Amino acid sequence: MPGGRPRAFDPDTALDRALEVFWSQGYEGTAISDLTAAMGINRPSLYAAFGNKEDLFRKVLDRYIEGPGGFAARALDASRAREVAERMVYAAVELTSGTGTPRGCLSVRCVQACGPEAEPVRDEVAARRKAGEMALRARFERARDEGDLPADSDPADLARFVHAVTDGIAVQAASGAGREDLLRVAEIALRAWPSS
């Protein structure tokens, strides 16, 4: 089994470039030519290495969630529920208003605007978002069982609230709000957190 002509590009860095484009332009707003230009490869190389546009987007989504979007999973490791919430919203500010990365959030962007053709993509993103919210809810349920949250608080509602706040921050960031402004939004939102 001989190995043919070697690749002239690194797939991982190419995926990062594709991530940038999808992140800033969304799924439908991104053309294959945008991707090949940013990745520094040509069309057939893209299709051979990553499949079609939808396949590539799913790979990019994996990379996003494991990379920049990984703050959500790491926030669950905090010792107290309030700190989990703090990490979530502050990290959302960092992510969505970061320098060197596009404004806003890839998931929020791509779960929104979709013509009939991009519906499977939208459903995929929605499913991942749901999974993240469920993990957050499970974390808060554990906290309540441990007395880290009031007994009369609803973990599902708190998870959805935190999730909604991070979504709002992402929209505001994409809409032009600066980091300091978003930090104050996060701070105010945390005042709603139940005192244990």
Which one of a copy of itself, DNA, none interacts with residue 20, CB within 5 to 8 A by kind? Answer: none
- Name residues whose C-beta falls within 8 Å of residue 156's C-beta, 6 or more positions apart in sequence: 137
Closest distance to a copy of itself from the beta carbon of 65 (Å): 16
Binding mask 17-56 for a copy of itself (x = CB under 8 A): --------xxxxxxx--x----------------------
Closest distance to DNA from the beta carbon of 45 (Å): 3
Q: Which stretch binds DNA (CB under 7 A): 24-32, 62-70, 86-94, 119-127?
A: 24-32
Which one of a copy of itself, DNA, none interacts with residue 3, CB within 5 to 8 A by kind? Answer: DNA
Closest distance to a copy of itself from the beta carbon of 108 (Å): 6
Determine which residue in the list 19, 23, 39, 53 makes contact with DNA, applying CB under 7 A. Answer: 53
Closest distance to DNA from the beta carbon of 122 (Å): 15
Nearer of residues 20 and 133 to DNA, judged by Cβ: 20
Cβ neighbourhood burial of 133 (10 Å; 0-12, 13-18, 19+): middle
Query: Angle at CA 92, nearest 5°, toward 21 and 122?
Result: 50
In this structure, how many other beta carbons lie within 10 angstroms of the beta carbon of residue 96?
26
What the block records as the tokens of 194 is: 């139940």
The residue among 15, 19, 173 whose CA lies nearest residue 106 is 19
- Using rule CB under 8 A, residue 190 touches a copy of itself: yes
Q: What is the CA radius of gyration of the chain?
A: 19
- Using rule CB under 8 A, residue 111 touches a copy of itself: yes
Determine which residue in the list 52, 130, 134, 150 makes contact with a copy of itself, applying CB under 8 A. Answer: 130
The residue among 74, 78, 71, 75 whose CA lies nearest residue 148 is 78
Closest distance to DNA from the beta carbon of 54 (Å): 6
Query: Angle at CA 64, nearest 5°, toward 36 and 20?
Result: 35
SS3 30: coil
- Using rule CB under 7 A, residue 31 touches DNA: yes
